[in-house]
Amino acid sequence: MCGIAGYIGEKQALPFLINGLKKLEYRGYDSAGIAIYHEGRIEVRRQTGKIAELERSIAGQTIEGTQGIAHTRWATHGVPSNRNSHPHRDTDGHIAVVHNGIIENYLELRGELEDKGYTFTSETDTEVIPNLIADCFKGDLLAAVEEAKARLRGSYAAVCMSQDDPGRLIGIRQDSPLIIGYGDDGNYFASDIPALIGYVKSYTVLKNGETAVMTKEGVTIYVDGSAVEPEVEALTMDLDAAEKGGYEHFMLKEIIEQPRALKDCLSGRISYGKHVVDLGELKLNAAKMEKINKIVMVACGTAYHACYVGRYIYEKMLRIPVEVEIASEFRYRDPILDEKTLTIVVSQSGETADTLAALAEAKRKGSHILAITNVWESSIAREAHDVIYTRAGLEIAVASTKAYTTQVLAIYLLGLYMAELKGKMIRREIQTIINELYRLPDKVQKIFDDQLDTIKAMAEKIADHEDAFFIGRDLDYVVALEGALKLKEISYIHAEAYAAGELKHGTLALIVDQVPVISVCTQKILEEKMISNIKEAQTRDGQIFAIAFEGDPVISSVADHVCYLPKTNDLLAPILTVIPLQLIAYYASVKRGADVDKPRNLAKSVTVE
Ligand code: G6P
C-alpha cells in the first residue's frame, strides 16, 4: 500500500524524502511525489511510475527547503496518473497533504466543498482533506486539522503542512500506520520503520485518534486537544527485519495483515445497517444482469480456490448455475458461453498468462467480463469490462494469503450486489450479511489473539508427517482445497483435499498410522454427516485436527485436536476457516526448515502458459 515520508529540521528535506520513499518501495506503488516548503511557497512534484522517474523529472532543478512531505501511491480511487498522485493541495495551493487509507465519505465532503467554490483536479478521495483543512483554516493549522479530522470517516494516516502556518508538520492517524522518528538534526514521519533506518535512533508509533505536531525542535502528541506523553522506542531493527514489519517472514506478516486488508476491501462499499453494496460504476447493471443465465468463474492457483467459494455462494444466493474453471483448461476446451454468460476472472497479480488468455477467449465469445484483481491497471484489469479491486496491498510471499481472503470478500460483495439487482434476496437478508461482513475483520483478529498457540501446536504435529488430508463439506470443502494447496506449496508435505463424503470412495485406503486429517467443520446442517466422516477416518487410525466454531461440543468430543473460531454466519465461514489453515502451513514450513517466502520451483506471478 502507499508510503509516507516527512521531514522538518536543519537539513535539506529532499534527500531524505527521496531515500525514505525508496525504502518504502517494497510496499508497492504506482506513482510518487514530494512537496517542499521554502520561503513562503510550497513546491510540489509528482510523477507516475518508479521513484527513479520522479528523480529524473526533477534532476537539475533546485528544490530547496528544510520542511517537506512525500508519498508513494498505490491507487485505490482513480487511476495511476500524475494528477492523482500525492501530495494533494487545496484549491489555492497553500496546504499540502499526503495520505494513506480511504476516506469513506469523500463524495459527500467533495460535494459540500464544491458547493462552497472549492475545485478538484483529481479523482482521489484524498483531495478532500487539504480542501477541508483550508475551509477550516483561520490562521492556526492545528486547529484547522482537528476540525477537519472530526469530519473524516474511514482510514487514514496523513501528514500536512501549510505555507500560511509554516514551521510545523501535522500528522493524524486512524487505522493506517504512521510513525514518528526523532533525529539529531530534525524530526521525521514515515508510514513504516524502513524509511527511518539510518536517520533516527528512536521512534513513536502514533495511535488511532492521535494528532502529532512536529517542529524541528520536537514533537507534541495530542488526544482530544490535550498533550499526552509519547511512548518512545529505540530503533534497533535492520532493514530486512523492518521490511517484514518485525516478522520473520513476509508470509506471516501478510497473514497478520488480513484484518487490515479486509477492512480496506470493505471500505466505502458497505455501511453497517444498510442493504446496499457500492462497487463503483459497474457496467453490470440491472438490465445486463436480467439477461445473465450462467456465471463462469476462471482463475489459477489460490485465485481458483476463491472462485470455488463463489460457486457455492452464488448458487445459494442467486440460483444461477455457476461453473468454475481452471484457466489453462478453459481456453482450449472451446467453452460454451455467450452474451448471456457472465465471466468472472480472479487474479491477484492481474498478469497470469493463462487467466489473461481465458479472459480473451470469453470476451471473443461475447461474454461480459468482470475482473477481481489486486493490481490497478494490470493487464486483466484493462481487458475486463468491469473491475473490482481487492485492495489487499502488495503481497510478496509466493503463497497467497491476504490476496485470497480479499478475493473471497470481493466475491461476497459482488454476490450481494447481484442479488440486489436480481431481487433474489430480500433486503433484510442482505443487511444481515452486510452487518456480519462488517464484523469479520475483528473476528479474524480474534483468531490471532486466542488461537495462535493451538494452531502452532497443531502445525508442529502435522509437520512430522509426509502426507496430510483435508476434508470438509460444502463451503468447508472449498476451503479444504486452499488449505491443502498452502500446506503442499510451502512445507512440501503431500497434501490432498477431499469432499468429506468422497473419502470412502478411495482415499480412506491411505488413512493409516496417525496420518493427519484436517477437518473443517463449520456448516451446521452438515455437521452430523461430517462427524460420520471424521469417525471413518479415526477408526482407520487417522489423527483428527478439527477447525470448528466456538461452542461446538460435538466436535471436541470426536476430534483429537480442535481450533475454535469465533462464530459467524455459515455462508461467510471461508474467510475465518482459511486463517488457521494458512497458519498451519506457515508453522509446518518453518518447522521443516523450508524457504517459506520463496518455495522451490514456484513463482508469485506466472506470465507464461
Ligand atoms: C502462482 C502463484 C499463486 C497464485 C497463482 C495465480 O501460481 O504462486 O499463489 O495463486 O499464480 O496468480 P494470480 O496472480 O493470477 O492470482
Is residue 39 domain-shared with residue 95, that is, in the same domain?
Answer: yes
DSSP 232-289: -EE----HHHHHTTT-SSHHHHHHHTHHHHHHHHHTTT--TT------SS-S--HHHH
In a domain, 430, yes or no: no
What does R_g of the chain's alpha carbons equal in angstroms?
Answer: 25
Mean pLDDT of all residues in 197-207: 93
Residue 1 pLDDT greater than 70, yes or no = no
2 is catalytic: yes
Whether 400 lines ligand 1, by a CB cut-off of 6 Å, is yes
Amino acid 357: pLDDT: 93
Domain with 416 in it: what CATH number? Answer: 3.40.50.10490
Which residues form the domain of 107? Answer: 2-243
| Residue 462 and residue 400 share a domain | no
Q: Give the DSSP H/E element, type plus range, for residue 140.
A: none
**291 and 226 in a common domain:** no
Q: Is 599 in the pocket of ligand 1 (CB under 6 A)?
A: no
Same domain, yes or no: 217 and 266: no
Q: Are residues 29 and 80 in the same domain?
A: yes
User: What separation in Å is there between the alpha carbon of 605 and the centre of ligand 1?
Assistant: 6
How far apart are the CA of 604 and the centre of ligand 1, in A? 6
Cα angle 138-143-149, degrees, rounded to a multiple of 5 = 115
Verify whether residue 604 is a known catalytic residue: yes
Query: 362 and 453, same structural domain?
Result: no
The tens digit of pLDDT for each residue in 104-139 reads 899 999 999 999 999 999 999 999 999 999 999 999
Q: Are residues 260 and 226 in the same domain?
A: no
Residue whose CA lies nearest to ligand 1 atom number 3: 301
Tell whether 333 and 310 lie within a shared domain: yes
Q: What is the pLDDT of residues 240-252, one digit of tens each?
A: 777 888 899 999 9
Ligand 1 pocket residue status of 347, Cβ below 6 Å: yes
Q: Which entry of 207, 446, 456, 604 is annotated as an active-site residue?
A: 604
Best CA proximity match to 404, nearest among 485, 465, 348, 445: 348
Residue 603 placed within a domain: no
Total number of residues shown for the chain: 609
How many domains does the chain fold into?
3
- Would you say residue 605 lies in a domain? no
Q: Is the pLDDT of residue 53 over 80?
A: yes
Residues 6 or more apart whose Cβ sits within 8 Å of residue 225: 146
Query: Whose CA is closest to 344, among 408, 265, 392, 421?
Result: 408
- Ligand 1 atom closest to Cα of residue 373: 16
Asked if residue 437 is part of any domain, the answer here is: no
Omega before residue 516 within 30° of 0, cis: no
pLDDT tens sequence across 135-192: 999 999 999 999 999 999 988 999 999 999 999 999 999 988 899 999 999 999 999 8
For the CA of 398, the closest atom of ligand 1 is: 8
The pLDDT mean for the chain works out to 93
Say what the pTM is. Answer: 0.82
Comparing C-alpha atoms, which of 437, 480, 473, 478 is closest to residue 568? 437
Distance 257 CA to ligand 1 centre (A): 19
Distance of alpha carbon 555 from alpha carbon 546, whole angstroms: 7
* Phi and psi, residue 20, nearest 5°: -60, -45
CB-CB contact of 377 with 75 (8 Å): yes
Is there an atom of ligand 1 within 6 Å of 605 CB?
yes
Q: Are residues 108 and 6 in the same domain?
A: yes
Q: Has residue 609 got a pLDDT over 70?
A: no
Q: What is the pLDDT of residues 595-604, one digit of tens each?
A: 999 888 888 7
377 and 508 both lie in a single domain = no
Same domain? For 149 and 222 the reply is yes
Which CATH number characterizes residue 98's domain? 3.60.20.10
Residues 404 and 273 in one domain: yes
Ligand 1 centre to CA of 421 (Å) is 31
Give the pLDDT confidence score for residue 239 in this predicted structure.
Answer: 78
Q: Report how far ligand 1's centroid is from the alpha carbon of 303 (Å).
A: 7
Q: Is 602 in the pocket of ligand 1 (CB under 6 A)?
A: yes
Determine which one of 2, 136, 300, 307 is catalytic. 2
pLDDT at 281: 84
Report the distance separating Cα 174 and Cα 327, nearest Å: 40
| Domain limit, last residue, from 226, 243, 260 | 243
Reply yes or no on whether the pLDDT at 590 is more than 70: yes
